[in-house]
Chains A and B, each alone.
Chain A
Amino acid sequence: MTHARDRMDLDLPDFLSDGEGIDDLSRTQSRRPAKVVDGHIPSELGLWIFILWDMTLFALIMLVFLWERRSDRATFTESAHQLIQPIGVVNTLALLLSSYLVARALLAHRVGRHLQARRLVLGAIGCAAVFAGLKAIEYSSEISGGHTPASGMFFRFYFILTGLHLLHVIIGTVLLTAWQVTLQRRRPWAGTQKLAEGIASYWHMVDLLWVAIFALVYLVSAE
């Protein structure tokens, strides 16, 4: 514990820029030494503007999807029943688990447990691989079943939304791998905080987007 405290003191400049002495006091009293202080933006503001912009684009596409659904509800419901819901459920769980692992990895990285953090990030990459693998199986079974982007509005939007999201999963996996590399090199937290927090935030966005897509395309449309 004292060891961890010493490490935290090395990191002070980063946190001091936010709130100075008060944070120091709260940290000594806190059981978890690396608790995020009030007013601290994970990573940096620019990243959050990017994440908001990214999610806005997805939200717009979802709105158009709902708009199209209004005019042809029967076909949308029928098409949604053609999706393999168990795969969607497993994929949702895989991404939720990966988000949990990423959050744990961030905590471990913050207190300097590099090996534990590496294992957790590797677990998250594994979840991403499971997600992508299941998605590939789902795509191939749908296309071989005659449900291509050309077969109606529902499947067009299904492929656009899940395809764009899969692109995010791939980019996120590359970023997680980059984080893994910095962990292997045992870079101190102070120098990698922005990177690690940024990658974790991006990954949570990937997870959040999937939950929204799953709810909208798999569940709401099937109603």
Chain B
Amino acid sequence: MLNTRILTLCAWSGPATVLIALGGWLIAGVLPLPLGASSSVDQVVNFYSHDTRVLAGLVISSVGICLVFPLTALIGVFMVRMEGRTPVLTFLQLVSGAAANLMLFLPMLLMAFVAFRPDRNPELTVTLNDLAWLLFLTPIAPIMIQEIAIGVAILNDKRQTLPRWVAYVNFGVAFSFVPDPLAFFFHSGPFAWNGIFIFWLATTTYAIWLLVMGLILRNAMQDLADADGPSVATTAA
């Protein structure tokens, strides 16, 4: 059945986001060690001077990050089933998820924009680099609202469409973003944007979130297909 196939693709787009986005960052040189708030002007300019490689990596990771959109839609499909007649949390998840995904996508474009003209005034390059990184890591409210909405919907769901621990994973990931605005106040150390409590913590927990949500929805989909009766299963096969 075509519908199941599309849903499965949406579920796999979660893990795919992690792979493609991280792969793109590796090519661009964002990983293994990203630029920091304390990086010198030379280091920043030097990073963007490898413009072809940086641009290629950033284009790949910006495509990868946008694969969160199908996953967000699939989460919405399951939340409608959980919520029933007034799916307000579903809508909240969709709008806040769209905003959150956009806030992750835009900084990739901004970094590509910096690499577009690497011979400009170095100070401008540093400013634009700051802008891209702070825009990437500090706007945490949309993503936290999205995850809290998912968690509350799961806990309120009497039918247990998704396991209840998934709700707590969502709360835990949301909590891990709380230190991120501290990146405004620190230029070095663990609370600077490239510190363990900001970039590394947020990237790790968000990757875990993408993997957990993708895989758990794929499993839940198979349960639903089984529950809907053998007709669906046979058509799918």
Question: Are A and B associated in one complex?
Answer: yes
Give chain A's interface residues, CB within 8 Å of chain B: 44-47, 49-50, 53-54, 57, 60-61, 64, 149-150, 156, 160, 164, 167
Q: Majority SS of interface residues in chain B?
A: helix
Nearest residue, chain A, Cβ from B185? A149
Compute how far the CA of A53 lies from the CA of B205 in the bound complex, rounded to whole angstroms.
11
- Interface stretch (choices B6-14, B27-35, B162-170): B162-170
| Contact among A49, A57, A60, A167 with B165 in the assembled complex (CB-CB below 8 Å) | A49
| Contact among B168, B176, B178 with A49 in the assembled complex (CB-CB below 8 Å) | B168
Q: A160 contacts which chain B residues (CB < 8 A)?
A: 179, 182, 191
Contact assessment for B178 and A60 in the assembled complex, using a CB-CB cutoff below 8 Å: no
| Contact among B168, B169, B175, B197 with A60 in the assembled complex (CB-CB below 8 Å) | B197
Say whether B190 faces chain A, with CB atoms less than 8 Å apart: yes
Q: A47 contacts which chain B residues (CB < 8 A)?
A: 168
Compute how far the CA of A63 lies from the CA of B111 in the bound complex, rounded to whole angstroms.
34
Contact assessment for A54 and B165 in the assembled complex, using a CB-CB cutoff below 8 Å: no
Give chain B's interface residues, CB within 8 Å of chain A: 164-169, 171-172, 175-176, 178-179, 182, 185-186, 189-191, 196-197, 201
Nearest residue, chain A, Cβ from B176? A57
Contact assessment for B164 and A44 in the assembled complex, using a CB-CB cutoff below 8 Å: yes
16 A-B pairs within 8 Å (CB atoms) are namely A44-B164, A44-B165, A45-B165, A46-B169, A49-B168, A50-B172, A50-B175, A54-B172, A60-B196, A64-B189, A64-B190, A156-B185, A156-B186, A160-B182, A160-B191, A164-B178
Q: A61 contacts which chain B residues (CB < 8 A)?
A: 179, 197
Chain B nearest CB: distance from A199 CB in Å? 12
Contact assessment for B168 and A46 in the assembled complex, using a CB-CB cutoff below 8 Å: yes
Chain A nearest CB: distance from B46 CB in Å? 29
Q: B176 contacts which chain A residues (CB < 8 A)?
A: 57
Known: A64-B190, A164-B178, A167-B178. A50 touches B168 (CB 8 A): yes
Compute how far the CA of A64 lies from the CA of B179 in the bound complex, rounded to whole angstroms.
14
